[in-house]
Amino acid sequence: MEMSSDLIKENHHLLQTCILYEVLQKTPIFDSYRSFCDTVGPDAMSYPDFLFWYLRFCRGELDFDYDRSVDPEPKTLMDMPVKLMPKIAKNLDPVERALLRSMNHAIKTVADSFPPAFEKIKIVVSDTSLDWNLNNQSFSCFKKGSGCTLYKRNCSTVEESEECYIKKSLEYLTPLLRVPNLQVNHLSLYFFDETPNFDDRLLVPLNAKSVFIWGRTTKKVVQFLSAMNPGYLESISLKFIFQREREHYRMIYETDQFKQAKNMKLKSPWESFNVEDLVNFSHLEKFKCYLTSENTFQDVPRIRDTISTFKKLESCEMVYFGLRDNPPITAFVDALGAEIPIGPLKEGEQLSITYRYQIPESNSCLEFKIKQNSEHTCRVNIVKLR
């Protein structure tokens, strides 16, 4: 007849005997407690109480009837000298500090006195998984049936959960992203599928200097761009795969994030900008984009004249597509009034032309470097020389 674990739980001496057995077996404390809980149940004794008796038995103090009420009140984390708390918080990485601040209000205040700063954060969301990288720490949460599996790639820990993979991932991400004054040098967001349950939780103001957002639609991309704190954000790179209406670009131009940025890169394989769009880039120091023209002879001088008025411009790069030109580099150079070098190209060499344009009433000039990019496009790099 097996003895019920309930009988052991009700007898304090039997519980102590179980602990003494683990000590005599020289089982490590944490493994001992795990074995103890497996035998008599996790609610039989708390870990601090188990630790107390385990350490007494290790010292050879075997009095089962020892009166613990005569002992001084045990110290807690909050009993440590106040000056030690900032030292502890300072030596933690941003992820550890985010966990520390959740312990209690006093520690939260100390942790928040050290604003977390990340070199890079990358978040990738699909309909089956959510991956995130925090500097050199990597995490992946995969959909598994109605639940999920969480991997921490820098260690062997694998966690199974009955929760949705989105919800489980946000248990880690949301507290971190909501830490006051969180700073990120580069933030990357990839949204391969529509994930409405994820969007609202991630849309929190962030201090990111540089951001790359990859989404299926302009609306999705702009939604997350608008969560970045304007003014702090300097560089924006956007890519969307289902962009059909050029009017949607206006959604980008109207954001404070775009208006206050210094650098911009916009790319869509479905649609390019045209000459009229360039005026929206006048406040930028650097930008990259695709540009399409139906009339190279008319549009290239307009490109040159428009860009020459940009006071803050340092450089820009365009992949130019002349709809009626083949090859477009010849038409582009002719429209600038530059000369095409005479003579054959070396094997593997692509045609490249450099042209300088003196900006009227200025000591500065624009240097154009035009190279053949493909059969239907040429790459135009423009630098302002002062």
State pLDDT tens for residues 22-81. Answer: 888 888 887 888 888 888 887 788 888 888 888 888 888 888 888 777 676 666 655 655
Report the share of the chain in percent with pLDDT over 90: 31
Looking at residue 187, what is its pLDDT?
94
Domain residue extents for the chain: 5-70, 77-111, 272-386
Q: Which of 323, 218, 205 is nearest to 266 (CA)?
A: 218
Query: What confidence category does residue 384 fall into, taking pLDDT thresholds of 50, 70 and 90?
Result: very high
Q: Which of 305, 306, 263 is nearest to 283 (CA)?
A: 263
Backbone φ/ψ region at 267: left (φ over 0), alpha (ψ -120 to 50), beta: beta
Looking at residue 286, what is its pLDDT?
97
Predicted confidence (pLDDT) at residue 343 exceeds the cutoff of 70:
no
Looking at residue 261, what is its pLDDT?
96
Residue type, 123: I
CB 313 within 8 A of CB 293: no
Predicted confidence (pLDDT) at residue 104 exceeds the cutoff of 60:
no
Determine the average pLDDT of the residues in 277-288. 94
Out of 36-50, 89-103, 281-295, 318-332, the most confident range is 281-295
| Least confident range of 104-113, 175-184, 268-277 | 104-113
State pLDDT tens for residues 221-277. Answer: 888 899 899 989 999 999 877 555 556 778 899 999 999 999 999 876 555 678 888
Residue type, 63: D
Predicted confidence (pLDDT) at residue 369 exceeds the cutoff of 50:
yes
The CATH architecture of the domain made up of 272-386 is: 2-Layer Sandwich (3.30)
Query: Mean pLDDT in the chain?
Result: 82
Predicted confidence (pLDDT) at residue 4 exceeds the cutoff of 60:
no
Determine the average pLDDT of the residues in 95-112. 60
State pLDDT tens for residues 126-143. Answer: 888 999 998 888 889 999
Using CA atoms, how far apart are residues 382 and 316, in angstroms rounded to an integer?
5
Looking at residue 1, what is its pLDDT?
38
Using CA atoms, how far apart are residues 304 and 312, in angstroms rounded to an integer?
15
Looking at residue 156, what is its pLDDT?
64
Looking at residue 312, what is its pLDDT?
95
Looking at residue 301, what is its pLDDT?
95
Cα 273–Cα 305–Cα 292 angle in degrees, nearest 5 = 20
> In terms of pLDDT, which residue wins out, 8 or 247?
8
> In terms of pLDDT, which residue wins out, 100 or 376?
376
CB 21 within 8 A of CB 13: no
Predicted confidence (pLDDT) at residue 208 exceeds the cutoff of 80:
yes
Predicted confidence (pLDDT) at residue 197 exceeds the cutoff of 50:
yes
